[in-house]
Amino acid sequence: MPKRQPGFTVTELMVVVAILGILSGIAISISGAEWRRTRVNTVVTELSGWLEAVRRASLKGNACQVTITGGDLIGNAPLASATEIAATGSEITNNCLSNSPLTISSVFATNETMTISPNGPTIFKFTPRGSVNAQADNTPLGSAVVIEVFLTGSTGPKRCVQISPGLGLISIGSSDTSGGTCTYGGTF
């Protein structure tokens, strides 16, 4: 009887290759979902931080009107802008980041598109009194302003930035699917 040589059989090698294939498929799926989540989180974090800076600028003396651009946007596209609304006879300049409109992060390639909802401009203003008002008048918002962000053509995740009526507090919410409803954990 011949002596058996040390090593692996073809069957053992095939089993190992099959297991490695399954594990790598799972890893690629998980990393793709994490990649999408990171991209959406980047945009929402930048938007909420920018809104908070505009809100703080308005507390220095003049109202700041904010315009959010809705629709499908690519990297370096303008996402939001702010304009200072000076009170009559006011000499206080607070800038409202008027010279620094927010653009979608340049880390996005031109073939990656973010959907910003609602689809169309959303306009509101932060006041020097620390409240948030409707665009054209000095009446408080009737309901929260919600800006939803997700990768175009993706089933998820979705993140939301909410500006509450009254004091204009900024909250970040999340949903695992682009069609889901965002839930909010705390104030930014």
Give the span between the Cα atoms of 103 and 155, in whole angstroms.
24
The mean-pLDDT minimum among 6-15, 55-64, 71-80, 111-120 falls in 111-120
Global pTM value: 0.78
CB atoms within 10 A of CB 90: 13
Give the span between the Cα atoms of 140 and 68, in whole angstroms.
18
Percent of the chain with pLDDT over 90: 18
pLDDT of 187 higher than 70: no
* pLDDT tens digits, 10-60: 888 899 898 888 887 776 766 777 777 888 888 899 999 999 999 999 888
Percent of the chain with pLDDT over 70: 85
**Per-residue model confidence (pLDDT) at position 140:** 81
> Which carries the bigger pLDDT value, residue 83 or residue 3?
83
Place of tokens 């203003």: 125
Handedness of CA 96, 101, 107, 111 (dihedral sign): positive
- The amino acid at residue 46 is E
The mean-pLDDT minimum among 64-68, 91-95, 119-123, 168-172 falls in 91-95
Cβ contact 61:94 at 8 Å:
yes
| E strand spans, the chain | 63-68, 71-74, 78-85, 102-103, 113-117, 122-126, 132-134, 145-151, 158-163, 170-175, 183-187
What is the rounded average pLDDT of the residues 125-142?
Answer: 82
**Per-residue model confidence (pLDDT) at position 94:** 67
**Per-residue model confidence (pLDDT) at position 188:** 40
> Which carries the bigger pLDDT value, residue 88 or residue 181?
181
